[in-house]
Structure formats: structure tokens, C-alpha cells
Structure 1
Amino acid sequence: MVLKPPKISLIRTPFEINKGEESNLDWDVTVFSPEVVNIVIRVKRKGKQEAKILFHWELPASKLSGPKKVIIPLNDASDLCEKDDSFSSEAPELQLCVLANIFGLIIIPEQSKLKESDDDSGRAVEKTICHVEREPAKISLIKTPFEINKGEESKLVWDVTVFSPEVVNIVIRVKRKGKQEAKKLFHWELPASKLSGPKKVIIPLNNASDLCEKDVSFRAEAPKLQRMDSGSFRISCSITLCPDISKDDGAEILIEVKQDTSENTSTESTVLKVKADNFCILY
């Protein structure tokens, strides 16, 4: 029987990491079989070729024999680890859980602590974990009115959910029938500079429209990023549409979202269907 590989949740980090203050990083590891488990944490700093091993935790087979236990502590196998004053942690515990009649084992690490320190060159190191690969942004389905009438303004609305407070770019394009290239209508950006300083619940995005082309069928205002109780971030977006049947019938609206630390670009689209009798729908 082929067993599922372990799963690692998103690394939960504070909204901000301030110089000289301790911050906690935590995550869950889910394993689906009670076997030997090794968890290794490394840090790779800018300008360094090799990653430094910070912690090594192990669940050996010997701890899995005998009576069943609900909670089993992992061993601290740190013989080959290098001490680093920026980080401290304790070995986590394995906890048996039942989810939808499927047995799983969740390893819950103690919260790793990040502090300000110097790297080997003597330069201050801050926000060491800011470039961890994260889950890509998610775009909801584009909500449209049931009917869009010629000459009347209508709104296309959608939400963008991001899971880390980093540089975010949202680009909206339209591709009309018979055209090879999509036209760039809007470009909104949340730069890193807006994420520093005091914690904010709502942060407006910049209107980075230098390379956009004006189009009389569309207008919009830059949206705002809102921090949610769950720790994720929501950006509620909309554009106002007043379609011209001669050029907008069959036009495709394309939305792209990119974050600096993600290799993936999230996309969503919808097609305009404009009818000659002054009536149009979106699907």
C-alpha cells in the first residue's frame, strides 16, 4: 500500500517582525502513518551558498512500540545543528487525531522564536523568514449582475485572498475578439513600503497605471487590503463597465494576481456577451 507523504501547513508568521523583538513562527506537520519521522529546519541567508541547519527533531521507531499513546514527544537530534542566536525552539510532540474516519498524526511544533542578530559578515539580519514560499493568492469567481443594459453602468466584483503581507500586484486586462493581444486596463500594487511601520487593519493599494491603456468601457479605483481575523488578507476589487456592443461583445476580462515570493500567478476570467437588443449578460 502506498502511503500519503507528510503535509506541511503554511508557516504562520506575525503581521510584522520588529527589530529586537521576539516573534513566533509556527506550523503543523501531518503524517499518515506511525513511522520514523525526521523534521529539519534550516535558514539560508542572503549571500550564503549553503543553508544552515537550525533544528533536527526525530520520532524514532522505538517510541512507537508498546502501548498506544495519544501524545508522543519527538527527540531533539541536534548533534549536527549549528547554534544561532536568532532562533530558539523546543522539540514538538506528535498527537494522534481522527479526521472523518481517517487516522492521521499531527506534529505540532513549539513556536520557533526569531530575534534580531548579526550574520557572519556583521550586518544586521531582519525578517529572515520573509522569503518563504507561500500558498499562491486566490481569486474568487467574478460576480456580475444578472443583466447589463446598454448605456447603464454595471459592476464586476471579485475578492483576492493572500496569505502573507508581501508585495502584491493585481492586473486587469481585456482581450477583444479578433485581437491578438490583451489590453492592460488597470494595475494595482501593494508595495513593501506600505507594510512597514505600525500595524494597520486596512491598507490602500497604489494605482500603478503607467503602462495601462485608457478604455472608455471601463473605469475603476484602486482597492484596499484588509487583514482578516483568520490571519489571511482580503482585497475586495471591482471595475465599472459600460459596454459598447460593437467592440465588447465576446470580450474576455482577464485578472492576474502575483506575489513576490510565489512562483505562481493566479488567474481568473469571464467573457462578456452583449446582445443587440440593448441587453447583455456575463457568463
Structure 2
Amino acid sequence: MNIFPSPTWLIGCGNMTGALVDGWRSATADFAPVTVVRPSGTPVEGVRTVTSAGQAGPPPRLVVLGFKPQQLGEVAPQLAPYLSAKTIVLSLLAGANAATLRRHFPGAATIVRAMPNLAVAVRRGVTALYSEDAGDTAKAEVSRLFEHLGFGLWTLDEARFGAVGAVAGSGPAYVARFIDALAKGGVARGLSPDTAQAIAVETVYGTGWLAASTRESMDDLARRVASPKGTTEAGLAVLDQDGRLDSLVMEVIDAAAARGTQLGSEVAGSDGLLH
């Protein structure tokens, strides 16, 4: 399946870029137009890998920035001379806003920010997209990449882009913590750790599938489980007391959003190295 603009460069291949590659591979994407650029030279299975942009070939139509945000100040001067006026810069760098990216890549055709979450690896991810200057053709090319990895949405501004990132981008970590807590509850009631974790994972998976299939509200779904004066209702009363769960989750999301703002300031003055 041909989904990549030709040529496409992946600059760095850490956790998130690796998750994207896993998802595209699962979708049977043709990696022939793709080159991974990573100084370590560590091979990426099924994808041409080189150690520098100078070895990658003709200027890319699409370049994906997949290194640490703090490395932008060092990487951009090495990369920018190899881009052309037709290049789409697709950034996965948290905190690096469109204006910062444009300053680093003034000659690129288009700057696009993307915030996928880890579930793109299994093609059930959520990806926020934002651009100040992408035309219909560029948007279509970028959308084609993410439509095979789950749910992708273009946001109207960077505030909404950040909001999606704070909820969905970080969300798998929060859900993983909840699953772990649910499993620990099972262990405390006598289940083995392996059994408790399997039950917790399947419960969350099944609930998510049910919610996606029925499209009913979360309140309605909870009410379907909670019989009046039953065990589930007793547990929900603890979660719902004084809005404690809602307040905790809001505090978590606010902390992630605040760190995103702080990271943006750090990125603007960063001077890191690409590994």
C-alpha cells in the first residue's frame, strides 16, 4: 500500500516514531520511499537507514521530526539545508510550536504538528494535527498517513492541539496506571498478579470496545452496570464522592498541559544533540 510521499525521511526513530513505523508496517505500507536518518546507524527493520541527511538522497517531500524536542536547536541547522521549497515538515516534537518550527525551517513548504499516542502501534491511536499554512494537498498527504493508524483530527488552533495532546497523547500512560491500580485491587482480594492484570486489561479493553460500539454516554454505561444498592454502586459512590475522580483527572491533565507550555520555552532555547 502506497501511503508515503516520495521521498519521506524519518529523522530519529525513538519510541513514538517506532510506534508509527509498527502501525504502518501492520497496515502493510510500502516503505520503499522511506529513509530513516539516525546517527547511531541502528537499523530499522524493513526500512533503509542512514546516519546523516547527506546520505539520504534527493530532498524529501516529507520529513518527520522524531527526536527529542530539546534537540531541535542542534538538529535543525544540520537538516534544513537538505530540504526544499516542496518539503512538508511533520513535527512530533512536544512543545515546539508552529512559529518555532518555521524559524528553524524557513525554506520548507509547509509546517505540520502531529501529536499521536502510543496506540498508533496497533492502529488504534489518536493523533492531533495542526498547521498554519498547509493547503488541501499537503493536508491530504498527511491525513493519508494517519488514517491507517486510528483516529486523526485537524485542530483549529494550537490551544486545541495541546488539549488533545494532554488528553490523548498522555492518556495511555494514565489508563495504564488505572489498569495497574485495578489489578492491585484484585491482588489484594486474593488473585494472583498475572490473573489480576489479565482481568484488569480485558475489563478496560472490553469497556472501551463497548463504549465505541454502542456510542452511549459513560454515565449510561455505568448505570447499566450499577444495580440500585448493589456492589458497583457502592464502589462508584467512593469514586464520585465530592467529584474526587474528576478533580484528580483534571489536576493530572492540567499538570501535563503546564509542562507542555514549559517545554515550549525550553525548546525555543534548546541546544541538544541527535542520538
TM-score of the superposed pair, with normalisation by structure 2: 0.21
Q: Relative CO higher for 1 or 2, CA cutoff 8 Å, sep ≥ 6?
A: 2
TM-score of the superposed pair, with normalisation by structure 1: 0.21
| Structure label with greater radius of gyration | 1
Greater per-residue strand proportion: 1
